[in-house]
Amino acid sequence: MEKIAIVGVGNTKIGEWYENSLRGLTDIAITKALESANIEPKEIESSFIGSMSPGIFNQQEHISALIGPHSGVGAPALRVESACASGSQAMRVAMMAINAGYYDTALVVGVEKMTDLIDIGDVTTALGTASDGEWELGVGATFPALFALMMRAHMHKYGSTLEEFASVAVKNHDNGSLNPDAQFRKKVSMETVMNSRIIADPIRLFDCSPVSDGAAAIILTKESLAKKYTDDPVYITGTGAGTDHIALHQRPDITTMESAKRAVKTAFDMAKIKIKDVDFIEVHDCFTIAEVITLEDVGFCKKGQGGKFSLDGETALNSTISVNPSGGLKAKGHPVGATGIYQVIEVFHQLRNEAGKRQVKKNDIGVTHNIGGSGATCVVNVFSRGD
Amino acid sequence: MFFPEVIEMSVPRFWRRIHSLYRLEGNKCSKCKTLYFPERNRCIKCNSNEMEPFFYSGYGKVVSYSWVYTPPKGFKSSIPYCLSIIELDEGPRLTTQIVAVDQDEVSIDMPVEFAFRKISSEGEEGVITYGFKFRPKGYPNHKKKKK
């Protein structure tokens, strides 16, 4: 199997794009990605779109046909959906299509336009459809509430503290303040996080990632063709995915994510790396508890110690392990179906020393970790330069 | 432009699963005795197709809980409400609301029992859905028992 290379990337700033549409945002991202790879639209042989819920957020399905042709990419297109992991799953499908020999090149787009809905209850419900509709959303569960169940169980089982969780948000805002594409480019204090209003106790507003609009696009090709488009391709050296029960209550331990452990093992084995080889990671911090659990599940610290690891500063930029140099979902923003592709683009820039003020110093191996729902889906990818 | 609040679900959406929606009826694998709630067609542990109905006692304990302040559509009138994962005495877990409690009265491992309740409503004139929630075990005498 040939390695897959990323030869171009493009994205919009993440934020509240009241002046633009879902289609308009993808047009910006695709145009930048085509320019970045110096590739003609007609050279793109296939396209894969990751998006969670345009049907509810924008009353628009069939976005595979909405997006490509509008931007001059007439290749056969397919939308891939796995909740907040839609972007990463779309990239995996593109990799499989290339490795199966069907295509040499693929455009992968992640997009979500969440601010077309007026009522926050509508947004909460739209996102809630990624949980078990009959047995979670249908009895009043929301995503903040499901992650709050995990957070309280974690605090009860391991003695983790609200201060530890708050440190995740503070660190990600520190990094986000250095990222010109981030939704929130402002530092916050521990007090701001810990005194923010309660969303679903013990989760407060500043434990949560925001409602965001954004589109991100990458161009993939085979290793043997990569240098045709760029001198500095980034290679996907490992990929893994895991699927678990959609409902949190169906999983025996709600303080861990088996899907993540499985995805990490598959991806690391494929890339032939160990945890100590990872230089930096973009993790799915949709809520602060998610980053804490992930630090433990991926293996940067012992089970139950993720909060302390964070509060001790081990995850800060250029500390023991740089976690979410982009600012993460918390500060960079979380346009749900696009998030996986934004993570890949951050790793692309970090590996190529293009990340400006937030550039990590150790940058040989970068990893992305993208979850869907309350952890029922997880995708992990490993990246490196060709040198 | 249309928005989701005008998309309403049919009444059968809420009563077609009557066995498990209104009472704690699941099933049991006749071979390996694994219990399920809600029922399944096949045992996912031993792969047997031989399943028999099973009625749960209605008692369980709190695994985790959260007081919800930002609800999905249809739950606005009851905020803040206590969302919880509970483990039935017989083993299976489910997500439910805990009612008849103040905020300082819920704790992990607290014993709870089945209670039939209104779940959600689609505005003043829309469909009202019913189902079960849980309340402290021994309600309304649960507080006396503690002492």
Which pLDDT score, from 0 to 100, does residue B124 have?
Answer: 72
Percent of chain A with pLDDT over 90: 98
Which pLDDT score, from 0 to 100, does residue A263 have?
Answer: 98
Q: How far, in Å, CA of A381 to CA of A379, rounded? A: 7
Which pLDDT score, from 0 to 100, does residue B7 have?
Answer: 64
Which pLDDT score, from 0 to 100, does residue B16 have?
Answer: 59
pLDDT digits 0-9 by tens, A365-382: 999 999 999 999 999 999
The three-class DSSP label of residue B121 is strand
A153: contact with B, CB 8 A cutoff: yes
Task: List chain B residues with CB under 8 Å of A118.
Answer: 3
The shortest CB-CB distance from B64 to any of A116, A122, A153 is to A153
- Give B34→chain A minimum CA distance, Å: 14
Nearest CA in chain B to A255: B64
Task: List chain A residues with CB under 8 Å of B36.
Answer: none
Percent of chain B with pLDDT over 90: 65
A195 pLDDT tier (thresholds 50, 70, 90): very high
Task: List chain A residues with CB under 8 Å of B64.
Answer: 149-150, 152-153, 156, 254
**Is CATH 3.40.605.10 what the domain over A4-118+211-226 is classified as, yes or no?**
no
Q: What is the DSSP letter of B91?
A: S
Which pLDDT score, from 0 to 100, does residue B1 have?
Answer: 36
Q: How far, in Å, CA of A219 to CA of A68, rounded? A: 13
Contact B94 A135 (CB under 8 A): yes
Q: What is the DSSP letter of B4?
A: G
Pull the structure tokens for residue A17: 């794009």
What residue segments make up the domains of chain B, in order of their start? Answer: 4-16+58-146
State residue A162 phi and psi, 5-degree precision: -60, -35
Among residues A7, A47, A88, A81, the alpha carbon closest in space to that of A341 is found at A88
pLDDT digits 0-9 by tens, A299-338: 999 999 999 999 999 999 999 999 999 999 999 999 999 9
Contact B64 A150 (CB under 8 A): yes
Is the interface score ipTM higher than 0.90? yes
Average pLDDT over residues A225-249: 98
Percent of chain A with pLDDT over 70: 100
Q: H/E/C letters for each residue in chain A?
A: CCCEEEEEEEECCCECCCCCCHHHHHHHHHHHHHHHHCCCHHHCCCEEEECCCHHHHCCCCCHHHHHCHHHCCCCCEEEECECECHHHHHHHHHHHHHHCCCCCEEEEEEEEECCCCCCHHHHHHHHHCCCCCCCCHHHCCCHHHHHHHHHHHHHHHHCCCHHHHHHHHHHHHHHHCCCCCCCCCCCCCHHHHHCCCEEECCEEHHHECCCCEEEEEEEEEEHHHHCCCCCCCEEEEEEEEEECCCCHHHCCCCCCCHHHHHHHHHHHHHHCCCHHHCCEEECCCCEHHHHHHHHHHHCCCCCCCHHHHHHCCCCCCCCCCEECCCCHHHHHCCCHHHHHHHHHHHHHHHHCCCCHHHCCCCCCEEEEEEEECCCCEEEEEEEEECC
pLDDT at B147 over 60: no
pLDDT at A114 over 70: yes
Q: How far, in Å, CA of A188 to CA of A178, rounded? A: 13
Helix (H) or strand (E) holding B19: helix B18-21
Contact B108 A142 (CB under 8 A): no
The shortest CB-CB distance from A156 to any of B5, B108, B133 is to B108
Nearest CA in chain A to B84: A149
pLDDT digits 0-9 by tens, B51-72: 999 999 999 999 999 999 999 9
Residue of higher predicted confidence among A5 and B143: A5
Which pLDDT score, from 0 to 100, does residue B2 have?
Answer: 40
pLDDT at A63 over 50: yes
| Peptide bond preceding A210 in cis form (omega within 30 of 0) | no
Task: List chain B residues with CB under 8 Å of A150.
Answer: 64
Which pLDDT score, from 0 to 100, does residue B4 have?
Answer: 46
Burial A42-81 (b: 16+ CB within 10 A, else e): ebbbbbbbbbbbbbbbbebeebbebbbeebebebebebbb
Q: B4-16+58-146, what's its fold?
A: OB fold (Dihydrolipoamide Acetyltransferase, E2P) (2.40.50)
> A339 and A109 in contact (C-beta within 8 Å)?
no
B73: contact with A, CB 8 A cutoff: yes
Pull the structure tokens for residue B78: 């009851």
Task: List chain B residues with CB under 8 Å of A132.
Answer: 95
Task: List chain B residues with CB under 8 Å of A249.
Answer: 63, 85, 93-95
pLDDT at B131 over 80: yes
B17: contact with A, CB 8 A cutoff: yes
Residue A269: HSE in the Cβ half-sphere, 13 Å Cα cutoff: 8
> A358 and A178 in contact (C-beta within 8 Å)?
yes
pLDDT digits 0-9 by tens, A116-146: 998 889 999 999 999 999 899 999 999 999 9
Q: How far, in Å, CA of A105 to CA of A265, rounded? A: 27
What residue segments make up the domains of chain A, in order of their start? Answer: 4-118+211-226
| Least confident residue range of A188-202, A218-232, B19-33, B73-87 | B19-33
pLDDT digits 0-9 by tens, A3-61: 999 999 999 999 999 999 999 999 999 999 999 999 999 999 999 999 999 999 999 99
Task: List chain B residues with CB under 8 Å of A134.
Answer: 17
Q: Which residues of A are catalytic?
A: 84, 334
Helix (H) or strand (E) holding B144: helix B142-146
Q: What is the mean pLDDT of chain A?
A: 97
Which pLDDT score, from 0 to 100, does residue B145 have?
Answer: 53
Q: What is the mean pLDDT of chain B?
A: 88
- Give B52→chain A minimum CA distance, Å: 20
Helix (H) or strand (E) holding B27: strand B25-29
Q: Between residues 51 and 70 of chain B, which touch chain A (CB distance below 8 Å)? A: 63-70
Determine which of B63, B66, B102 to mutate to test the interface with A (most A C-beta atoms within 10 Å).
B66
Average pLDDT over residues A67-86: 97
B123 pLDDT tier (thresholds 50, 70, 90): confident
pLDDT at B13 over 70: no
Q: How far, in Å, CA of B103 to CA of A242, rounded? A: 36
Residue of higher predicted confidence among B21 and A262: A262
Contact B4 A122 (CB under 8 A): yes
Which pLDDT score, from 0 to 100, does residue B10 have?
Answer: 75
Q: Judging by DSSP bridges, how do beta strands A198-200 and A213-222 pair with one another?
A: unpaired
Which pLDDT score, from 0 to 100, does residue B125 have?
Answer: 73
- Give B141→chain A minimum CA distance, Å: 26
The shortest CB-CB distance from A126 to any of B4, B38, B108 is to B4
Q: Between residues 270 and 329 of chain A, which touch chain B (CB distance below 8 Å)? A: none
Percent of chain B with pLDDT over 70: 87
B6: contact with A, CB 8 A cutoff: no
Residue A247: HSE in the Cβ half-sphere, 13 Å Cα cutoff: 21
Task: List chain B residues with CB under 8 Å of A148.
Answer: 66, 68, 83
pTM value?
Answer: 0.96
Within 8 A by CB and 6+ apart from B137, the residues are: B59, B111, B112, B113
Which pLDDT score, from 0 to 100, does residue A317 have?
Answer: 98
B80: contact with A, CB 8 A cutoff: yes
**DSSP bridge pairs for B55:** B25
- Give B37→chain A minimum CA distance, Å: 10
Average pLDDT over residues A336-365: 98
Cβ-based contacts under 8 A for chains A and B: 119
pLDDT digits 0-9 by tens, A264-291: 999 999 999 999 999 999 999 999 999 9
